[in-house]
Amino acid sequence: MAGADGDDSLYPIAVLIDELRNEDVQVPNVSGGGLPGYRSKRSCSSRETFRCLRLNSIKKLSTIALALGVERTRTELLPFLTDTIYDEDEVLLALAEQLGNFTMLVGGPEYVHCLLPPLESLATVEETVVRDKAVESLRKISQEHSPVDLEVHFEPLVKRLASGDWFTSRTSACGLFSVCYPRVSSTVKAEIRQHFRTLCSDDTPMVRRAAASKLGEFAKVLELDYVKSDIISLFTALASDEQDSVRLLAVEACVSIATLLPQEDLESLVMPTLRQAAEDKSWRVRYMVADKFSELQKAVGPEITKNDLVPAFQNLLKDCEAEVRAAAANKVKEFCENLPEENREQIIMTHILPCVKELVSDTNQHVKSALASVIMGLSTILGKDNTIEHLLPLFLAQLKDECPEVRLNIISNLDCVNEVIGIRQLSQSLLPAIVELAEDAKWRVRLAIIEYMPLLAGQLPLTKSLCRVVVYAIREAATCNLMKLVEKFGAEWAQNTIVPKVLGMANDPNYLHRMTTLFCINALSEACGQDITTKQMLPVVLKMSNDQVANVRFNVAKSLQKIGPVLDSNALQTEVKPVLEKLATDTDMDVKYFAQEAISGTRFTLASLHISTKSDLPF
């Protein structure tokens, strides 16, 4: 160990250790009977400082442990940490996390059980995040226990937690059964199963919830016979618990249990409970079923899906509670995708589509918006003819929906419809509605249109209406999208459609719009090439150098610097340079500054041109 000769290398560690302790103790007020007129005068800032220092020390716990050595870490540091569970959540959370990586610092797997006491006390605190982290660390170090240590040290800890007085310790125990079960002897296994059973019927709903949420995980490590004998009865009991918060967690467990069981047992062991959950009196349970529908569908397989889940799904889509309908609507596409191939189309057309049609005109906007985010995906499944006949009217209706989010969700998914029905059909039926949206009152919708414009441009023919969309993009200064458009359609298209609009705005009375011209030119010059830039854009920029607004003038200087590399050296010398020189003597400080910047910038361009001409010379 270092430091025996009294060098100061121990000092930083000494500081860290001193700051580990929780010094900030609120002075209590015990003044006998009566209601004392006491106001707490706790200094928040000092409390905060102490907390930060402690947090810092805890995060460097490995450094402290390293300096102390494995022996003292085991005998002094860990016992101290075990007893300091008074602290703030943040500190405890950091401690719980650190201890999960402490195996080597206490002397390797042989001594890993030393970490159990502090983690055990952390697993009983009231703060869920801390408990969960402690359980996570316990699960981690359980793997580092030898089978013998697991039975001697770890398993007793799980039992202690499982039979603890407070529900906090019992909830923590629920997460630990599955990690020790596979590695212990069959007698201990029987005990673990018994403990789990007890917790599933605990008095407090919290413990039952914890058990229900770990039921699936525990089922996975159990032998199939026990799954059938033990887990199913627990599952059935939890799924009919009096508290809906417990029942809804059983739905989740249903997925993992169903995947474990052979197909022939599903009908008798799982389906009665699942059917009951899908029709539960509580909307929260039905919501959970709707939310987990795709997973359930995969877990129970095609046959049960066809016979049972399709009607259940129909009911969920028609549920009286909007939250449930919205959750189900979200799953429409996935559910249809995962239907058995051979009669998929028939099921969708006769059973699902009628419900979907109703949802399009639902009274609740969340339901409509959930549907709008997935409905376009149906077109790939149903094919061209069905899409045109049945889906397009729905899309159109949603594009015109009063709720902006619905319109937005439809626009964002246009590409998948295009793949199915082709450009012509799409442009004929949807384009008018889309162009209308470019003038939508909600800026988010306009923004979405602009953002999807390059995508739309790939699919829609170059019509006049598209140009109107472009104009809006210019107004909103969506320069980056303009660049993408020009790249897609080429310089000639840009020269005919975009450039005139951009240059037209140079004479706008609003100086912000005039600046937009400059920003667009900055973005477009490279894509448009030297010819258009020199002949059409440059004159406009130069003319704007006389603008009366200084902001415009210094942006001219910036633009000139930006488009410089695109221009030929002749234009730079004869046209750009004089203007920049004039701006460099401007009365406005900023204009002067940017003009000088541009001059040194373009000089660099000139110089590099010069060099490149030189190097072209044959030697």
Partner 1 sequence: MAGVAGGNDFQWCFSQVKGAIDEDVAEADIISTVEFNYSGELLATGDKGGRVVIFQHEQESKNRPHLRGEYNVYSTFQSHEPEFDYLKSLEIEEKINKIRWLPQQNAAHFLLSTNDKTIKLWKISERDKRAEGYNLKDEDGRLRDPFRITSLRVPVLMPMDLMVEASPRRIFANAHTYHINSISVNSDHETYLSADDLRINLWHLEITDRSFNIVDIKPANMEELTEVITAAECHPLQCNVFVYSSSKGTIRLCDTRAAALCDRQAKFFEEPEDPSSRSFFSEIISSISDVKFSHSGRYMMTRDYLSVKVWDLNMENRPVETYQVHEYLRSKLCSLYENDCIFDKFECCWNGSDSAIMTGSYNNFFRMFDRNTRRDITLEASRESSKPRATLKPRKVSTGGKRKKDEISVDSLDFNKKILHTAWHPKDNVIAVAATNNLYIFQDKIN
Q: Give contact residues for partner 1 (rule: CB under 8 A).
A: 3-8, 10-11, 13-15, 17-18, 20-23, 25-26, 28-40, 67-68, 72, 76-77, 80, 83-84, 86, 124-128, 166-169, 204-206, 209, 242-245, 280-284, 320-323
Minimum distance of partner 1 from residue 268's CB (angstroms): 28
Residue among 117 and 529 whose Cβ is closer to partner 1: 117
* C-alpha to C-alpha distance for 528 and 293, rounded to whole angstroms: 51
Residue 262, phi then psi, degrees to nearest 5: -65, 150
| 321 versus 345: smaller Cβ distance to partner 1 | 321
For the CB of residue 462, give the shortest distance to partner 1 in the complex, in Å: 47
CB of 126 to partner 1, least distance (A): 5
Decide whether 10 or 491 has the Cβ nearer to partner 1. 10
For residues 554 and 533, what is the distance between their CA atoms, to the nearest angstrom? Answer: 19
Q: Which is nearer to partner 1, 131 or 562 (CB)?
A: 131
Q: Which helix (H) or strand (E) holds 424?
A: helix 414-437
Q: What is the 3-state secondary structure (H, E, C) of 433-448?
A: HHHHHCCCCCHHHHHH
* Rounded Cα–Cα distance for residues 71 and 589 (Å): 69
Instruction: Give just the sign of the alpha carbon dihedral 490, 492, 498, 503.
Output: positive
- Residue 121 neighbours by CB distance under 10 Å: 17
Distance CA(99)–CA(88), nearest Å, equals 17
List CB contacts of 606: < 8 A, sequence separation 6 or more. Answer: 569, 572, 573
- Least Å distance, CB 37 to partner 1, is 7
Q: Which two tokens stand for residue 536?
A: 């059409």
CB of 209 to partner 1, least distance (A): 8
Q: How far is the CB of 2 from partner 1 (least distance, A)?
A: 10
The Cα–Cα gap between 456 and 461 comes to 9
Backbone angles phi, psi at 202, to 5 degrees: -60, 155
Whichever of 40 and 548 has its CB closer to partner 1, that residue is: 40
Q: Which two tokens stand for residue 174?
A: 């629920």
- Tokens 């596409």 appear where? 333
With respect to partner 1, which residue has the nearer C-beta, 214 or 484?
214
* Token duo for residue 319: 């549920």
Distance, in Å, from the CA atom of 92 to the CA atom of 134, rounded to the nearest integer, reads 9
Q: Which is nearer to partner 1, 29 or 510 (CB)?
A: 29
Residue closer to partner 1 (CB basis): 128 or 198: 128
Residue 584 backbone zone (phi > 0: left; psi -120 to 50: alpha; other: beta): alpha
Shortest separation between residue 76's beta carbon and partner 1, angstroms: 4
Closer of 83 and 508 to partner 1 (Cβ): 83
CA-wise closest residue to 319 among 345, 374, 348, 358: 358
Nearest-approach distance from CB 111 to partner 1, in angstroms: 17
Alpha carbon distance 318, 453 (integer Å): 36
- CB of residue 60 to partner 1, shortest distance in Å: 14
Cα–Cα distance, 500 to 307 (Å, whole number): 62
Least separation in angstroms between residue 168's CB and partner 1 is 5
Q: Please tell me the distance from the alpha carbon of residue 534 to that of residue 218, in angstroms, as a whole number.
A: 72
Report the greatest alpha carbon distance in the chain: 105
Residue 339 main-chain phi, psi, to 5 deg:
-70, 150
Q: Which is nearer to partner 1, 199 or 552 (CB)?
A: 199
Q: Which is nearer to partner 1, 74 or 183 (CB)?
A: 74
CB of 277 to partner 1, least distance (A): 13
Shortest distance, position 328 Cβ to partner 1, whole Å? 14
Residue 77 or 332: the one with the smaller Cβ distance to partner 1 is: 77
Nearest Cα neighbor of 384 from 425, 431, 337 is 425
Residue appearing with tokens 């709720």: 403
